[in-house]
Amino acid sequence: MIIGYARVSTNDQNPEPQVDALEKAGAEQVFQEKFTGTSRERPELSQCLRMLRSGDVLVVWKLDRLARSLKDLVEIVQDLQDRGIGFKSLTESIDTTSSGGRLVFHIFGALAEFERDLIRERTLAGLEAARARGRKGGRKPSMSDADVKKATAMLLDPMITKTEVAAHFGVSRTTLNNSLKRTAS
């Protein structure tokens, strides 16, 4: 069975050109979505993907109608392939029911993985460069080193409790203890 999926980004866009093209391509049923591409919730797509069975083919008018990113596209098509379901994009002439179409999608998958690796490498390089400049990651300490020294001095008085010291600095007792440990090490 050939199933179509059409999506428009706004309510004032007309899905009919997509639907007509999908029906012309042999789609027996067309699921229509009227959501933005950034919306995570696409109930029609979810229903469409649940309905597909091994041997079926999912047809879209254009790749960007199916997924928001290359990563999402590769994940969806890989899931379809794992379930024995073909995929066709009319505008880009991609057809995973053929060996050439599968090759194109393997290339897309490799590009998505390459993109993830590049992002990871750039992130790690940026963090390393920031550390080299003396930048520390994480949240700013709740108590400055000077406050911790004052707290340590206050705690030398046996009449003052940690709870009182914490209240004096406007922090919890746990934060006080963590700050004392941080400066002790």
CB 4 within 8 A of CB 62: no
The CA distance from 29 to 22, in Å, is 9
Q: Is 93 a catalytic residue?
A: no
Residues in the chain, total: 185
10 Å CB burial of residue 57 (0-12, 13-18, 19+) is buried
Token pair 């928001």 is found at: 68
Q: Which of 74, 78, 55 is nearest to 1 (CA)?
A: 55
In the DSSP assignment, the letter for residue 15 is -
Q: Which of 9, 39, 89, 98 is catalytic?
A: 9
User: Catalytic residue positions?
Assistant: 9
